[in-house]
Each structure stands twice: as structure tokens, then as C-alpha cells.
Amino acid sequence: MAIPKILAFAGSARTDSFNKKLIAIAAEAAGAAGAEVTLIDLRNYPMPLYDGDLEEAEGLPENAKKIKTLMQAHDGFLISAPEYNSSITPLLKNTIDWASRAESDDEPPLVAYKGKAVALVSASPGGFGGLRGLVTVRSIFGNIGVTVLPDQACVAKAYEAFDEAGKLKDERTTKQVNGVATALVSFLKKQLA
């Protein structure tokens, strides 16, 4: 049986990001469930804001090409998406937008996304745990050919949810996050069978 390849990242660049802690937990669970997981930090792939004039003049930025290549090399994505003002972070949106761009006229549309699957988790200091932002993330991925898994996990009051080692204190929440990651692995195994 083929081993699913999953690209995991948080939609936050902040060093002590709750979502970076959360994606590390989810990525570990996906690995334990039998996937080959590549965990990246978007801070290591800085890109200008998407600009059609810039793209026309210079093509895709080098880091956009790297992210796009990584996405194409994986079967699915595991993303921890923070919520900014009830929506998606600019960093995550910009990453999605640049990776959606074709590098040549004969490249099929959305090659980094078509036929892929994504599972979503979120952590937020607020009471909804980033839930409102995930609505937008789901909509974007659903419209660009990515299967968005129905299961998701949201960690509310994130400032008190993690211990000093970056693990979740609550066992039920840990099970939910692990369940989302495991569901993605199971889905991809069926797709690859």
C-alpha cells in the first residue's frame, strides 16, 4: 500500500504561534497513523503580496515556486489556520494565491491543488478557537479543486491550552486534533489504494 505524503504547516509566522504548536501535534499524529509528513514553517518562505504586475514582469518568486513544488509532491495538506478578524490570515491567503499561479501557458490550472485533500485545525485565544476563519479557508480550498475533509478541530482559549512543552493539556482536545490528522491519513490511503 502506498504511503500518503502530507505537507503540514501553520498559517502563522509568529515564533511562539499557538497554531505552530498545534500543527506540530497534528503532524506527529499523522506520522503515527502511517503518513510521511513534511512539516514546514511558512516564515522560511517569505514572498511579496500577490501582484499580477509583479508576476508578469518577473514570474513567480523563488519561494512561491518552492512551496508550489512541495504542494505538488504531496498527496494532501494538514493546516493549522489562525483566525484574523473572523477570517483567513494574509500569510495563508498569499501562500495559497501564489501557489495557484501557472508558470507556463501549457501548465494545467491549479496543479498544486487539483486532486489533493486537506484537513484543518485551528487555535485561537478567543472562545470559538478559530472556527470563523476556517469557514473561509474551507471555501477557498473547495473552490480550487481540493477535497476538504469534514472533520476539524478548534482549540479555544489557546493561551491556556498548551503546556510548557507545547502539548495540549486537555486529553479530549488532543484526541480531536489527532482524529482530524488520522482521518486525513485514512482518506489518502483509500485514494491511493
The CATH number of domain 5-192 is 3.40.50.360: yes
- pLDDT tens, position by position, 68-81: 999 999 999 999 99
CB-CB contact of 173 with 155 (8 Å): yes
Q: What is the predicted pLDDT for the residue at 1?
A: 74
Residues 6-19, mean pLDDT to the nearest whole number: 97
Query: What is the residue-averaged pLDDT of the chain?
Result: 97
Q: What is the predicted pLDDT for the residue at 113?
A: 98
Angle of the 131-143 helix axis to the 90-99 helix axis, nearest 10: 10
- pLDDT tens, position by position, 30-67: 999 999 999 999 999 999 999 999 999 999 999 999 99
- pLDDT tens, position by position, 82-107: 999 999 999 999 999 999 999 999 99
Strand partners, 153: 121
* C-alpha dist (Å) from residue 111 to 19, 49, 168: 27, 21, 35
Residue 182 grid cell = 488520522
Rounded Cα gap, residues 107 and 103, in angstroms: 7
Q: Report domain extents, the chain.
A: 5-192
Strand partners, 87: 84
Q: What is the predicted pLDDT for the residue at 76?
A: 98
- pLDDT tens, position by position, 101-155: 999 999 999 999 999 999 999 999 999 999 999 999 999 999 999 999 999 999 9
Residue 172 has pLDDT above 90, yes or no: yes
Taking the whole predicted model, whether its pTM rises above 0.75 is answered as yes
